[in-house]
Amino acid sequence: MRILYRNARVHAPSHPDASALLVDGDMIGWIGDEHGAGQFGDVRVVDVAGGFVTPAFVDAHVHATATGLTLIGLDLSGAGTLTEALDLLERAARAGRGRPILGSGWDETRWPEGRAPTRAEVDRAAYGGSVYLARVDAHSAVVSSTLAVAVDGLAARAGFSPDGPLTRDAHDAVRTAAFAALSRGQVRDAQRAALQHAASFGIACVHEMAGPAISGADDLAGLLALADAEPLPEVIGYWGELFGIDTARELGAVGAAGDLFCDGSLGSHTAALHEPYADLPAISGALRFDTQDLAEHIVRCASAGLQAGFHAIGDAAVDQVLDAVELAGERLGRSGGAGHRIEHAELVRDPRRLAASGLLASMQPAFDAAWGGPDGMYAERLGTLRALDLNRFSELAAAGVPLAFGSDSPVTPLGPWAAVRAAAYPSEPGAAISARSAFTAHTRSGWRAAGRDGGVLAPGAAATFAVWQAGELGVDAPDERVARWSTDPRAAVPGLPDVAPGRELPRCLLTVRAGKTIFDAGIASG
């Protein structure tokens, strides 16, 4: 079927005045002035009423099942106090009538109590049921006694606490047990909810960061099958397991990469740092692997034709990954990082060294929006001056580090335009990149991060795009639905909306993946 989308403003640099595009099957067949579309004869016409058409977004780092559980389950991100969080847990326990509870999103740094729930408090609120409550960064959790005793040898694992949050190996074990308790139906419903939610934000592809300590092989296999069977965003799978080459290939993952945890998170005090935490001077986090093993992992991935990649947030973890890349390069006789990726890379001591490694940096600008600034969690953990060294998008880009953006949802919510804003207007202005560069990092670079081409609107390209309406524009009078977009003055190419703080971000009207509609707010079916 051929579909003509007309009355549009098309963001195609090669066709700056285009007002229409023709989709022929799963490809873009033509872009131009809609008055020239008569040549195509009998086609279905969709009037987008002045909407702005862009390449669809790619979220380069998500956890779909966990995201879905926050959408349809217990979400504690809105809890303003510890007491409120415990009240929400008690309501969930009453409604669940004894079923296991998985929740996430709590952040003690935003609470006046300034602490996490204790196990005893969780037990009381849940009436003794099985409970897993992940911190907002997903690198620590509080659990009920019922879940804790169900995990053999939990007290002997690194990161165990008898009453407080669990981190490191102890957290991995309870998370695995909590997710294993979900039924296949619950997992499928959560995954579908997450992917539908992504499509509503103009996201047509997500990179799923799976792994044995995160969601499991069955979870990733089910997610890939779901995305292939239903009108949903494409899922590109990653399997984060050291030497997990065979499993990655069996699952159809593009890499034994992603959340292969070289360290943890700043919020949970588990990111590996060269200098101690400012608020806990006795610790500096910990590296979880041997550098020689990381180098061997890269070599094995390269030999298998798979991507390698690692989760590294603290400067010690980033440096360890770079050490491993250089060791792998010596063994391979070529760049050890070319074609591979590093996740998060928040605290980079030497951007030029990262650029020379060949690694692509998959980053999350919303981290800075959530926790940056002089009064944010980063400043609390590292001190105000050290926190300024986090998420230096401008310095990384200037050094030549390829950037791809994502959300790490549910750690921060899905929302690509919000991420573009966060990178263009970060808490420290010197770290900013242009809105155009941020947009590219969240579109075209997302495909490149997986070794794919995409993210452009051009004849012959995949028909994967989104249609947007500025939120402040009225829709009551159809003839007034004109795309009066304000151009960001710092953008090198006119046409992107102004995403400055205080501006209303674009609202998605339609998302199309390879010619098929995966989200429609009524513009195509109305």
Q: Is 315 helix (H, G, I), strand (E, B) or coil?
A: helix
Confidence category of residue 487, pLDDT binned at 50, 70, 90: very low
Q: How far apart are CA 154 and CA 74, in angstroms?
A: 24
Nearest CA to 143 among 159, 158, 121? 121
**What is the token pair recorded at 229?**
């069977």
Q: Are 468 and 33 in contact (CB under 8 A)?
A: no
Nearest CA to 412 among 470, 372, 464, 364? 364
Q: How far apart are CA 518 and CA 348, in angstroms?
A: 38
> Would the pLDDT of 482 be above 60?
no
Confidence category of residue 97, pLDDT binned at 50, 70, 90: confident
Q: What is the DSSP pairing of strand 341-344 with strand 307-312?
A: parallel
**What is the token pair recorded at 199?**
């499509």
Kindly report, residue by residue over 117-159, the tens digit of the pLDDT: 999 999 999 999 999 999 999 999 999 999 999 999 999 999 9
From residue 405, how far is each of 89, 345, 367, 421, 473 by CA, in Å?
33, 12, 11, 12, 28
> Would the pLDDT of 491 be above 50?
no
Q: What angle do CA 376, 381, 382 make, to 5 degrees?
A: 100
Nearest CA to 28 among 459, 444, 443, 515? 459
Domains of the chain: 2-56+456-520 (2.30.40.10), 64-180 (3.10.310.70), 258-449 (3.20.20.140)
Q: How far apart are CA 462 and CA 453, in angstroms?
A: 9
Q: How far apart are CA 272 and CA 518, in angstroms?
A: 40
Place of tokens 């996201």: 203
- Main-chain dihedrals φ then ψ at residue 286, nearest 5 degrees: -155, 145
Q: How far apart are CA 454 and CA 442, in angstroms?
A: 11
Instruction: Give the residue, 180 or 342, on which the prediction is more confident.
Output: 342
- Helix, strand counts (H, E) of the chain: 18, 22
CA-based R_g, the chain, Å: 23
Q: What angle do CA 461, 465, 470 make, to 5 degrees?
A: 145
Kindly report, residue by residue over 251-270, the tens digit of the pLDDT: 999 999 999 999 999 999 99
Q: How far apart are CA 37 and CA 33, in angstroms?
A: 7
Range of weakest confidence among 34-48, 231-245, 345-359, 447-461: 34-48
**Burial classification of residue 110, based on how many CB atoms lie within 10 Å of its CB (0-12 exposed, 13-18 middle, 19 or more buried):** middle
Kindly report, residue by residue over 277-290, the tens digit of the pLDDT: 999 999 999 999 99
Confidence category of residue 472, pLDDT binned at 50, 70, 90: very low
Q: What is the DSSP letter of 317?
A: H
From residue 318, how far is each of 63, 255, 326, 399 by CA, in Å?
22, 19, 13, 16
The residue type at 161 = S
Instruction: Give the residue, 409 or 482, on which the prediction is more confident.
Output: 409
Range of weakest confidence among 275-289, 458-472, 504-518: 458-472
Q: Is 84 helix (H, G, I), strand (E, B) or coil?
A: helix
Q: Are 393 and 335 in contact (CB under 8 A)?
A: no
Q: What pTM did the predictor assign?
A: 0.91
Q: What is the DSSP letter of 356?
A: H
Mean pLDDT (the chain, rounded): 93
Residues facing 325 on adjacent strands: none
Q: What is the DSSP letter of 516?
A: E
> Would the pLDDT of 82 be above 90?
yes
Mean pLDDT of 325-347: 97
Q: How far apart are CA 315 and CA 344, in angstroms?
A: 11
Q: What is the DSSP pairing of strand 465-470 with strand 360-363?
A: unpaired
Q: Are 477 and 444 in contact (CB under 8 A)?
A: no
Residues facing 131 on adjacent strands: 101
Q: Are 338 and 301 in contact (CB under 8 A)?
A: no
The string of DSSP codes covering 132-150 is EEEETTSSEEEE-HHHHHT
Place of tokens 């500096």: 284
> Would the pLDDT of 381 be above 70?
yes
Residues facing 347 on adjacent strands: 390
Kindly report, residue by residue over 16-65, the tens digit of the pLDDT: 889 999 999 999 999 999 888 878 888 999 999 999 999 999 999 999 99
How many CB atoms are closer than 10 A to CB 438?
Answer: 30
From residue 451, how far is each of 165, 219, 280 by CA, in Å?
38, 23, 40
